[in-house]
Amino acid sequence: MSRFVLTAIGPDSYGIVARVTSALAELQCNLADSRMSNLSGHFAMILVIDGSGGLDEKAIYTAVQSRCSELSLLVDVKKIDVEVANDLDGERYVVSVYGTDRPGIVAGICDVLAVHHANIFDLATRAIETGSSWIYTMVLEVALKDPSKLDRLQAALAVKAAELGVTCSIRPSESEEF
């Protein structure tokens, strides 16, 4: 078995997921993991796929491009390791951030998380227009290897949130699925 990561982004259109996954199914590829989202009118996908040992990046790229040529997708395929050593898991928490949109919110909050060894598993942001201003929202799922350090992380996030002019909260994750 070989493992690949496929990324694709382009203007949102009906059928992107159907076309890409149909091309992969014809190659007998299996989706091992995926994230797909509409980002400001552009559809983006990241797929981790498993295929036969004889499959290569070029074959996958060609199959996807032949199905999606008129969709203006930017596609990239890379072979990756099947198993990756990872010691970044731990107790899961959800971090929520809200405030007036401005540059530096993601960088500031993520820097605090990195310093406190909180590994980011998922991050989603959205700017919401409220008439005269924009409200920025960010939700992250993180893993904290040493939950006894949660109080220090909360305190550091509160300091950074005050500097950024946003509110930030952290709570245990209730999700057992991801």
For domain 91-172, the CATH architecture is 2-Layer Sandwich (3.30)
Segments in 27-149 forming alpha helices (H): 57-68, 105-115
Q: With CA atoms as reference, report the closest residue to 172 among 153, 114, 163, 36.
A: 153
The Cα 157–Cα 97 span in angstroms is 10
Query: In the block, which residue shows the tokens 């401005």?
Result: 102
2-80 and 91-172 share one fold: yes
Domain boundaries, the chain: 2-80, 91-172
Please state the pTM of the whole predicted model: 0.84
Could you tell me the two tokens for 51? 């295929």
CATH topology for the 2-80 domain: Alpha-Beta Plaits (3.30.70)
Crossing angle of the two packed helices 57-68 and 16-26, in degrees rounded to 10: 140
In tens digits, the chain (178 residues) has pLDDT values of: 899 999 999 999 999 999 999 999 999 999 999 999 999 999 999 999 999 888 999 999 999 999 998 899 999 999 998 777 777 788 999 999 999 999 999 999 999 999 999 999 999 999 988 888 889 999 999 999 999 999 999 999 999 999 999 999 999 998 655 4
